[in-house]
A = this chain, B = another copy of it.
Amino acid sequence: MSHPFLSDAAVGFLPSPVRDVWELSMQPGMVSLAGGNPDLRLSDTGWMAEAAARAITDQGDEVLQYGSGTGFAALREAVVEVMSAEGVSASTDSIQVTAGSQLALDLITKLLFARGDTILAEGPTYVGALGVFGGAGVRVEHVEMDDDGLQPDALRETIDRLAGQGRRPRALYTIPNFHNPTGVSLAAGRRAEIVDICRAAGIPIIEDNPYGLLSFGEYDVPSLHSLDPELVIYLGSFSKILAPGLRVGWACAPTWLRRPLQLASESAVICASVLSQELARSFVAGGRWRDTVSAAAAEYARRAEALNGTLRPLLPAGAELTTPAGGFFSWLTLPEGWSSAGLLDHAVDEQVVFVPGASFYADDDGERQFRLAYSLENPLRLDEGARRLGRALASYGSALNVART
């Protein structure tokens, strides 16, 4: 991808690892645990056809014309309502609507980083964030996580180690709830500590929260944003609770970021699709959204259990599987000496596919790990997928033993 007309930035963008296994996952009969798409059959979209038609007919002058740079005013109010359902109190003024929360991350990266700067992020982390950081020439330093999420001690040590090299990270990027790709959540008890560490070090936090409403049970933990609204930039999305094809997300921004973020968003896209914004507003205003999202979360819980419950007894000794309390993903660490890329060959023979772990790291970690997405297949298929994966683990394990003897 090098060419004399291209800048250094052009080589930093990363292809999607999901796309790498896309053709495999489309093979007839394959159980795909690869893509992290929401299942639209769980969204309440029955109202949407009529709402779209009505918006175009009655509000065409508004929804088909250029819109406000900060976002449709009524949608910003709806976003505040969505955030309040997660216990986050935000003002309409703090909401910047973006063409998907991916764009919010892209814009914030533009505004906070110069090329060569450093960002902290969980290891592993969201591949789409790695792509943004790579394109912006930002160096990613991973911070270790465990079953309670990002480790405060590891965060402190990483900041100190980088300070020893004269490097101050310009931000921490974190997905505290039902993390992509691990499914792990940041323990409530760690949250204030992490915010304190970052505040003391002068490091703003980007809190990416696309899955927060898709909790499998009671979930009452404070958002990082609510612990320090001037330090923490919160990213939210309608993609996982309504429809990703609309491309509507938002940032809830500290005061110092609002004006630059608005100008950067206008500069990139002028505004998000105004018709999409009106549909997202309609979803919230309709009032049934809380029940819809709860019902979807309950179904995702059944799917997580169908996959992980069946898979767990089939795991080899030394393997570790996370237990998500919400969201779309679980994460499997294979025993020492195993490789997830090696396992994938056996899995494909058994007609099940996943995304190997290396893609979720900016460094060369993740070789023994992989992501399992249970969001798109139904529980029966997930149960079958887990059995196939069990057989793949067995045949790969045998092959490894043969190779060693």
The chain A residues found within 8 Å of chain B, CB to CB, are 1, 3-11, 13-16, 19, 37, 40, 43, 45, 48-50, 52-54, 56-57, 60-67, 69, 99-100, 102-103, 106, 110-115, 117, 128, 131-132, 134-135, 170-171, 202, 204, 239, 243-247, 256-257, 259-260, 263-264, 266-276, 279
Contact = CB atoms under 8 A, between A and B. Distances in A.
A257 B19 CA distance: 20
Contacts of A243: 64-65
A102 B131 CA distance: 21
A16 B262 CA distance: 11
A268 B102 contact: yes
B64 A40 contact: yes
A267 B1 contact: no
A268 B106 contact: yes
A112 B3 CA distance: 10
B128 A267 contact: yes
Contacts of A50: 53
A269 B269 contact: yes
A260 B1 contact: yes
A270 B113 contact: no
Which 5 pairs of residues, A with B, have the shortest CB-CB distance?
Answer: A13-B263, A245-B274, A64-B243, A49-B53, A273-B273
Contacts of A268: 102-103, 106, 132, 268
A52 B60 contact: no
B204 A7 contact: no
B45 A64 contact: yes
A288 B106 CA distance: 38
A125 B52 CA distance: 36
A110 B15 CA distance: 17
9 contacts: A1-B260, A6-B257, A7-B112, A49-B57, A65-B244, A102-B270, A246-B274, A247-B269, A247-B272
Given A53-B50, A244-B65, A276-B276, A202 B4 contact: yes
Contact of A1 (B63, B135, B259): B259
Given A43-B64, A113-B7, A247 B263 contact: no
Contacts of A5: 112, 170-171, 202, 204, 256-257
Contact of A6 (B7, B106, B111, B275): B111
A15 B263 contact: yes
Nearest to A114: B7
Contacts of A16: 69, 266
